[in-house]
DNA sequence: GTGGAACACGACGACGTGTTCCACTGAGGTCGTT
């Protein structure tokens, strides 16, 4: 048995590697930069965990969510690794000081892109030896960096302080544009690239067009109340997620809603209940998904046009992790394109905002928080004209992407094939249940289910009490 | 930009039609203060 397999068995209890894992791990150990695109459930964590045991120094893992960090810290501790810490706002000032003063003790250091801008933290990091740096869920660099969390783009400058460390970028879905963004931001020159096929033959694609919002709602309610989950209904707004959860609950469906405005404890609770099977459906915004461990999701429904093909695939990819047949359905109306564009654009500064922000600091403070944050970042590195040009470009790109997605859903060609082509991939074999435009046996795909309508039960009770009280 | 609700209007009263207004609209982390 070679050394890698030995550690795999000793530390992680696996007897063999999955496709691509060994190759990637070898490249990381050899000191190469690596971009690895692997579907959810293909063992991405192992790719950064295992090489650490062959290299001197610590591993810094940049993660987008606090919950994801906690999750991974716990997972490593379960494997018996004690030298692991997450440095983020969950720690008090005193705890942070304590960890930073003893940073050399740790093998795995999890942190957020925001934290990488902390001077005290950087000072501590520069005093220890770093083997390699990991960008987990690296698509966030491209997806969030430009218009939401500019600290993702600041990783670029931060990396200059660690020229010796190689970088490993991990994600489940990335178009060529996203890969280019990742490589650029992480200063990767000639990295080893492992790109697993994005095609998931056990996910069938269904697209439905509705003439009105009412028709759309009726279709969604009908589908969820007559067929089996577990499933996720992705809505475009928090309000809609709550509305559907409320309506479905009345029909007897075990359901909860999930979005960014939920308290942290409620989020954890909903997530756990769904994972344990106590809930059949989650009505959620795009906040739901990263770090969800559930293998048997059978249905993903979208009630809108997503803002990018990559995020659509991320969301759809949460189904069928157990390899069993599942279905991804999307229902839209013509006006949904405009809605998607509005949502994608609403925090972007317009030309007047950019001009005013470059003229006066006070004006910038009047802007919405996200807009202010984005502008502050670009003001540091670009001129006013360059910033205007940049946002013009980003807006145009977003609009084209949404349009492309809309055209794709409207087209009569194979949906699977078109999606794969967007990711520069060719479809080699069509599964039996491919898509709405090829072949789709809905009766086979969707198991019938009857729910007990709680509205009727309440009504019956109301009638019975009335009868009893009648003089 | 769209869609739905509310309102105005015509004309002997209810209701269809046109106009106006307003709601819709994601994602996370950190710091300092209460």
pLDDT at A464: 54
* Strand B neighbours among A 338-367, CB < 7 A: 338-339, 342-347
The C1' atom of B19 and the CA atom of A302 lie apart, in whole Å, by: 34
pLDDT tens, A176-214? 999 999 999 999 989 999 999 999 999 999 999 988 888
A266 sits within 7 Å of strand B by its CB? no
- Domain coordinates of chain A in residue numbers? 3-195, 203-338+404-469
Residues A214, A256: Cα–Cα separation, whole Å = 22
Q: Does domain A3-195 have CATH number 3.10.20.600?
A: no
> How much is the average pLDDT of A284-296?
93
d(CA A217, C1' B13) / Å: 37
* pLDDT tens-digit series, residues A446-470: 888 877 776 655 555 555 555 555 5
pLDDT at A79: 93
CATH code reported for the domain at A203-338+404-469? 3.40.50.300
| Contact predicate A108/A81, CB 8 Å | yes
Give pLDDT, residue A116. 97
Overall average pLDDT of the A118-122 stretch: 95
Query: How far, in Å, CA of A325 to CA of A320, rounded?
Result: 6
Q: What is the pLDDT of residues A394-438, one digit of tens each?
A: 989 889 999 999 999 999 999 999 999 999 999 999 999 999 999
In this structure, is the CB of residue A370 within 7 Å of any atom belonging to strand B?
A: yes
pTM, full prediction: 0.91
Residue A95 Cβ < 7 Å to strand B: no
The nucleotides of chain B lying under 7 Å from a protein CB are: 1-4, 24-31
Percent of chain A with pLDDT over 70: 96
């Amino acid at each position: 048995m070679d050394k890698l397999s030995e550690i795999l068995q000793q530390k992680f209890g696996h007897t063999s590697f999955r496709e691509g894992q060994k190759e990637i791990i070898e490249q990381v150990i050899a000191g190469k930069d690596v971009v690895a695109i692997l579907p959810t459930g293909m063992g991405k964590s192992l790719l950064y965990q295992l090489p650490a045991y062959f290299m001197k120094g610590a591993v810094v893992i940049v993660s987008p969510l606090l919950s994801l960090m906690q999750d991974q810290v716990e997972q490593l501790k379960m494997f018996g690794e004690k030298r692991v810490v997450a440095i983020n706002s969950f720690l008090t000032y005193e705890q942070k000081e304590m960890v930073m003063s003893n940073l050399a003790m740790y093998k795995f250091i999890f942190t957020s892109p925001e934290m990488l801008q902390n001077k005290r933290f950087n000072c501590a990091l520069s005093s220890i030896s770093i083997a390699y740096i990991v960008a987990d869920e690296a698509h966030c660099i491209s997806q969030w960096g430009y218009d939401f969390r500019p600290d993702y783009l600041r990783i670029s400058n931060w990396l200059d302080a660690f020229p010796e460390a190689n970088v490993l970028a991990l994600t489940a879905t990335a178009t060529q544009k996203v890969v280019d963004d990742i490589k650029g931001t992480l200063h990767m020159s000639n990295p080893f690239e492992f790109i697993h096929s994005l095609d998931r033959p056990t996910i069938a694609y269904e697209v439905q067009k509705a003439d009105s919002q009412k028709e759309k709602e009726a279709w969604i309610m009908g589908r969820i109340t007559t067929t089996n989950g577990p499933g996720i209904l992705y809505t475009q707004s928090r309000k809609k997620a709550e509305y559907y959860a409320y309506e479905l609950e009345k029909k007897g469906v075990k359901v909860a809603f999930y979005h960014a405005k939920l308290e942290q404890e409620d989020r954890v609770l909903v997530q756990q209940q769904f994972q344990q099977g106590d809930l059949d459906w989650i009505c959620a915004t795009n906040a739901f998904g990263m770090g969800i461990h559930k293998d048997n999701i059978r249905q993903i429904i979208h009630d809108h046009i997503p803002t990018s093909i990559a995020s659509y695939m991320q969301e759809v990819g949460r189904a069928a992790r157990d390899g069993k047949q599942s279905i991804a359905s999307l229902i839209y109306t013509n006006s949904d394109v405009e809605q998607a564009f509005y949502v994608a654009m609403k925090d972007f500064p317009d030309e007047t905002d950019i001009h005013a922000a470059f003229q006066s600091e006070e004006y910038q403070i009047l802007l919405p928080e996200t807009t202010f944050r984005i502008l502050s970042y670009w003001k540091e590195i670009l001129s006013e004209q360059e910033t205007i040009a940049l946002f013009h470009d980003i807006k145009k790109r977003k609009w084209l992407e949404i349009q492309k997605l809309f055209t794709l859903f409207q087209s009569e060609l194979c949906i699977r094939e078109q999606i794969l082509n967007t990711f520069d991939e060719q479809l080699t074999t069509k599964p039996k249940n491919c898509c709405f435009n090829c072949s789709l046996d809905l009766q086979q795909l969707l198991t019938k289910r009857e729910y007990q309508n709680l509205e009727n039960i309440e009504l019956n009770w109301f009638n019975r009490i009335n009868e009893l009280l009648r003089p």
